[in-house]
Structure 1
Amino acid sequence: MERHAAEHLLRLLAKAGNACSTDRSAAFSALRQASALLWQLAPDSPPIRPLDLEKQLSVPIEAWLPESVRGGYEGPLLSSHFTTQTCSEMLFEMDIRELWEETQAIVRKVRDSCRLRKGGQQLYRNFRLFLIQHAVLKPVEAQAALVPLGLSMTDIYSEIPARLIQDGQVFLCPSCGWPMEALKEEVHCDSSWCKHSKSVFLRRNGHLINRHTSARNAGVPAEGLWMLQGALWKFTLLPGRLELALAEALTSKGFAVELWPDFDRADLRVVIGPQTFEIDAKVWRSAHSLAERIKLLRPATPLWIVVPDYQKSHVRFLRESCPPGVEVFIQSQCVKELVKRADPF
């Protein structure tokens, strides 16, 4: 099956899963298109009705779609009629072009503004840190950071939807700070990064209890809170957490680390003797989607793509997609490799 057809199918399935509990008309339309595409791509198999395909969304996709189609995604798209983490991440990563352009338009506006100002590099760095550290806030808390950059609240944040509020409370992911959908049986945000960071909760006697630590998430009052827009959360905040962790680890080893140098030419820059290394942190669910982005890179300086340690099994595949000058490491490998290369200096 050709990759673009597989991606189109995944996009339709994710849209159907996302709409099943909120817009039955949109869900049925996506299911009907997905059903037709499945039959077109596998004409020897009997066609599957849209309503039967909807039932399949509650079955892990690895049980009914081959690896060549699902591109590394695993798990069901629906659970107890709610959109799953897999479905949410597919929506973000399948619509990468539109969401990426949306994110970059905002970042570019800030970057261009900062370039014209004295101390603009630090101002830009402060903006990036602000987004990473403020997944939710009240508008008054954002004014000092956004107004000087010519941004309004609605450029960066949106009101928290009612489905994420329970009894006037919103339950925040302890790893990234974004609201979690607390009505699900297994509660977490829409990021596999946070799930691997043990930010998963179960409903017990009306309370949210961490599956791994037994800590209780009591929630915070939702009144007046806004949340970071989805594209900025996915492509700025989440990798930003990895970027800061890398910077901290490298600094502890004695490296001088520059975050977002030259107004975001890279995520991190490390100089070792005569050589400069630029590092981009990526937090993607699908190795196939990330590989497509990596193929487009044409760096002028050695560029290291760093993914979370839990994606160690993806590294070999990602390296096969690397153009000249690009290498791929997991987080811990990156630190060890830089320490090794710094040894002669």
Structure 2
Amino acid sequence: MNKIQNMLYYIIVGLQKWPNNYAQIPDELHKGMLMFIQEAARSGGEVPADLHRLLQILHKPSKEWGIQGLIEYYPSEAPLIEEFIGITPDADDFINTYISPEEAQQKNMFAILQFCRDKNRKLQTEYTQIRTFLSMPQNAVLSSFQLAQFAESFRDRELSTLVRQCYEEVTTLLANYRKCPYCGWTLEYKHDRWRCNKENICKSLAEWKIVDQFDFKNERVYRLLPGIQRYVLLPGISEIKLADFLKRKGFVVELFPNVDEYDIAVSLNNNKIFLDVKDFKNPRTLANFFNQKPLEYLEKYGHQVFVVIPKYRNDLFPFYGKRASVLLKEDTKKFIKIIMENEVEKMLKEPFL
């Protein structure tokens, strides 16, 4: 990472740690503030006199921070902090894009991926079962028995433990939650409205006039970790729906082929196309993700690979795919072909004619 990426990283990680002890400023936040001061001074922007002023600045769209080159790594219209929700979804996307997967919000899913990819195991069937399970709304919130039943279905105890670690217990909080009509996760009432996780994507994807309570009686209850809900469940719903749609159209479909090298493999008449679903809030973040990747990473997106954006992203951000494509560097455009979810069928008809 370069200086600006490091600055964002330390500020975000520091802000994530701060609620654990507000009496002590995390070292990461202090370091990030010093880097912000340095970058602001270099760019001729406002230099925050103290942490309070820095936090005020971070509530503004990043284009108002006065730091040159920031747009290469963070959307210009996005703040880093929002009132009522804290660290923004854009900041979460940044962290999950630019830090190691071991540190990311979906690190538990990455641990499962690494376990199943191990050359001595190659657990394709098990990985597909887990990803599919975590992509189903009915599994977003489970009783302890339901979770144990699935986790213990795998012979390897370590894999069972990794599955369990994708969930957190919410038994004592359950009365405060309602069931999301779209993804099945927990709605929380904040500032006169129900919200599903930070970004609240689901609000635009399902009818929310009536929201149901969970009915687990006296059982212990577990929900997907917030990061798993955002980065596995939500895109996974689109992946499963897309796979089912293509099967109905007569294509042979494989989910997460070669232990998640891609999300979907589509075959017909000995021809094969690979689809890789990417779900970032902002098209700038998607473009930045690919623009920062080395050549050896981009080369896996060859002639037969397409990056697919869930339909709801275009509903929330018009012309999402076109905006992201325009923002790709020229060298990156040679490898990356971006299409929207509702364009997949039309695209597939061409290679299979």
TM-score range, shorter chain: 0.7 to 0.9
Task: Find out whether 1:125 has 2:128 as its counterpart.
Answer: yes
- 1:139 correspondence with 2:144: yes
Report whether the alignment pairs 1:53 with 2:58: no
SS at match of 1:283: coil
Task: Give, as a single letter, the amino acid of the residue that structure 2 aligns with 1:105.
Answer: A
Q: 1:258 aligns to what SS in structure 2?
A: strand
User: 1:255-309 CA deviation, whole Å, 9 max, x = no partner?
Assistant: 2222123433321111244432111111123222354358523327722221224
- 1:105 corresponds to which residue? 111
Offset, 1:61: 3.3
C-alpha RMSD over aligned residues: 3.6
**Which position in structure 1 is the counterpart of 2:277?**
281
Q: Residues of 2 paired with 1:59 and 1:142: CA distance?
A: 41
1:113 Cα deviation (Å)? 10
Instruction: Determine the C-alpha separation between the residues in 1 that align with 2:4 and 2:171.
Output: 31
| Mapped pair 1:260 → 2:256 | yes
Alpha-carbon distance in structure 2 between the residues aligned to 1:64 and 1:110:
43
Conservation of the 8 A alpha-carbon contact between 1:102 and 1:231: no
Structure 1 306/161 Cα, relative in aligned 2: closer, same or farther at 3 Å? Answer: farther
- Decide which of 208, 211, 214 is 1:217's aligned counterpart: 211
- 2:255 counterpart letter in structure 1: L
Asked whether the 8 Å contact 2:197–2:226 carries over to 1, the reply is no
- Which moves more between the two structures, 281-290 or 93-102? 93-102
1:178 maps to what in 2?
Answer: 185
**CA distance in structure 2 between the partners assigned to 1:254 and 1:247 by the alignment:** 11
Mark the runs of 5 or more structure 1 residues left unpaired by the alignment.
200-211
Partner of residue 195, structure 1: 201
Q: Specify the SS of the correspondent of 2:350.
A: helix
Secondary structure of 2:54's counterpart equals: helix
Alpha-carbon contact 1:114-1:124 (below 8 Å) kept: no
The SS at the match of 2:337 is strand
Flag the 1:148–1:196 CA change in 2: closer, same or farther, 3 A: closer
Residue of structure 2 equivalent to 1:316: 326
Q: Deviations over 1:224-249 (max 9, x none)?
A: 21122355444432331221122133
Counterparts of 1:152-163 in structure 2, within 5 Å, are 152=161, 154-160=164-170
Amino acid at match of 2:299: R
| Cα distance change of structure 1 residues 81 and 240 upon mapping to structure 2, 3 Å threshold | closer
Other structure's SS at 1:8 match: helix
* Whole-angstrom distance in 2 between the partners of 1:144 and 1:301: 42
Cα 1:325–1:8 change in 2 (3 A) is closer
Matched, 1:39 2:45: no
**What is aligned with 1:8?**
6
Distance 1:232 1:318, change over 3 A: farther
Cα deviation, residue 189, structure 1: 3.2
Q: Which amino acid aligns with 2:211?
A: N
Correspondence for 2:347: 337
Measure, in 1, the Cα distance between the counterparts of 2:208 and 2:236: 27
Contact map agreement 2:196 2:202 (CA 8 A) in 1: no
Inter-CA distance 333–104: structure 2 relative to 1 (3 Å threshold):
same
TM-score normalised by structure 1 residue count: 0.76
Which residue type is aligned with residue 169 of structure 2?
A: E
The alignment status of 1:292 with 2:302, answered yes or no, reads no
1:16-70, Cα deviation, whole Å (9 max, x unpaired): 4435555324556444323321221232445202111122333333443565255
Structure 1 CA distance, aligned partners of 2:195 and 2:331? 32
- State the shift of 1:329 in Å: 1.7
SS at match of 2:267: strand
Q: What corresponds to 1:203 in structure 2?
A: none
Alignment of 1:226-237 (within 5 A): 226-237=222-233
Aligned partners of 1:106 and 1:91: how far apart in 2? 20
* DSSP 3-state at the match of 1:176: coil
Provide, for residues 109-165 of structure 1, a one-character-per-residue CA deviation record: whole Å limited to 9, x for no partner: 24569967xxx7555432221111222212210223221322136433222397xx3
Q: Distance in 1 between matches of 2:74 and 2:189?
A: 29
User: In the aligned structure 2, how far is the partner of 1:35 from the partner of 1:252?
Assistant: 53
Question: Secondary structure at the residue paired with 1:97?
Answer: coil
**Of 240, 252, 255, which aligns to 1:244?**
240
The aligned counterpart of 2:265 is 269
Please state how far the C-alpha of 1:336 moved relative to its aligned partner.
1.6
